[in-house]
Amino acid sequence: MAPSQSTQAAQPSEPEQPTPPRTFDALVTTLRARGETLTRAQRRVAERILADPEGVAFMTVSELATAVGVNEATVVRFASSLGLSGYPGLIRLCRDRLREQAQLVRRYENLEPLSAEDGDPLERAVALDRANLTRTFARVDPANWDAAVATLAEAPRVHVMGLRKCHAPAYLLSYLLGLTREDVSSLTGVAGTLTDELRRVRPGDAFVSVSIHRYGAETVRAAAWARERGARCVTLTDNPASPLAASAEHVFYVDAAGPSVLRSLTAFTALVQALATAVATRLGHRARSSLLREEELLDEFHVYHPPGS
């Protein structure tokens, strides 16, 4: 006897399988979307994948599990929960990313191989910064770049924040933008004034955050708050695992490898200068008028030492 329709309807349906990400960028999107639902162990695995896909690409499941302090079964189950064919499926996406990056770097013919670890420190620093610049600008998506430039040019106000080692490029960006447009401020939180500075952020403003690992807690909180406030958020950071990436509309990843324990800010400086130049170009005569007023003030206040004296 055939089961009744009511009996058929009562039978539990099989759980819907997640759509597996087909590219590393799709994997990044999936991991960000699942951020708050991941367990602590899963989050460790996800953060390592986002921060170092090139390294993970050649790790065994045992090596990755040991590196993040979880058991192998957790790694395998995590990969399968994403809809991938287990750990091999995860590794394939990481290796695809590695090939993509290699192809981007090869577009720049003047990139030289890094010198040996025991080579001349000056040569090694130069070689690393060449690589930093190449990888940083190769990863800039033109559409994302144009949208960020439009935001920085047209927003009613621009607020720029970067603390500690990232204060220098953040200050440079605010200074250069301030030469070409009105209402640009640098947030420093000096003497406990961060909340006073944030009070001036309004919906529709641009909020730029700059930070690399280890990420400044105040910068992360301020960027998230600005996004909730309705600001258009731009961030310059070092990798997709950065907490700043989650709160930004426009993200630019900057390589900061250095020849010693000190990380390089060369690529940050170059990207900041390129952003400011692109904003000035977009503003056109408005930028020129602003620069002319600046020059008049400099002359009136005798800011620079007079030539020939």
What does the pLDDT look like over 148-188, one tens digit per residue? 999 999 999 999 999 999 999 999 999 999 999 999 999 99
Q: Going by C-beta distance under 8 Å and a sequence separation of 6 or more, which residues neighbour residue 179?
A: 280, 290, 291, 294
**pLDDT of amino acid 271:** 97
Distance (Å) of CA 113 to CA 106, 272, 291: 11, 26, 41
**pLDDT of amino acid 114:** 46
In whole angstroms, what is the distance from residue 8 CA to residue 222 CA?
A: 53
What percentage of the chain carries pLDDT values higher than 90? 47
Torsion angle, alpha carbons of 234, 143, 33, 187, to 10: 0
Spell 230-258 as b/e; 16+ CB within 10 A means b: ebbbbbbbbbbbbbbbbbbbbbbbbbbbe
Residue 233 pairs with which residues in a beta bridge? 207
In whole angstroms, what is the distance from residue 270 CA to residue 253 CA?
A: 13
Contact yes or no for 79/87 (Cβ under 8 A): yes
**pLDDT of amino acid 259:** 73
Contact yes or no for 91/48 (Cβ under 8 A): no
Q: Going by C-beta distance under 8 Å and a sequence separation of 6 or more, which residues neighbour residue 190?
A: none
In whole angstroms, what is the distance from residue 136 CA to residue 273 CA?
A: 13
**pLDDT of amino acid 110:** 40
**pLDDT of amino acid 5:** 52
**Chain centroid offset of residue 17 CA:** 31
In whole angstroms, what is the distance from residue 106 CA to residue 131 CA?
A: 11
Structure tokens at 202: 């309004």
> Vertex 160, ends 155 and 162: CA angle to 5°?
160
Amino acid sitting at position 236: L
**pLDDT of amino acid 55:** 79
In whole angstroms, what is the distance from residue 235 CA to residue 250 CA?
A: 6
**pLDDT of amino acid 111:** 42
Residue 293 burial by Cβ neighbours in a 10 Å radius (0-12, 13-18, 19+): exposed
**pLDDT of amino acid 186:** 95
**pLDDT of amino acid 120:** 75
* pLDDT < 50 regions, the chain: 6-7, 14, 107-116
Q: Which domains does the chain possess?
A: 24-98 (1.10.10.10), 136-300 (3.40.50.10490)
**pLDDT of amino acid 116:** 43
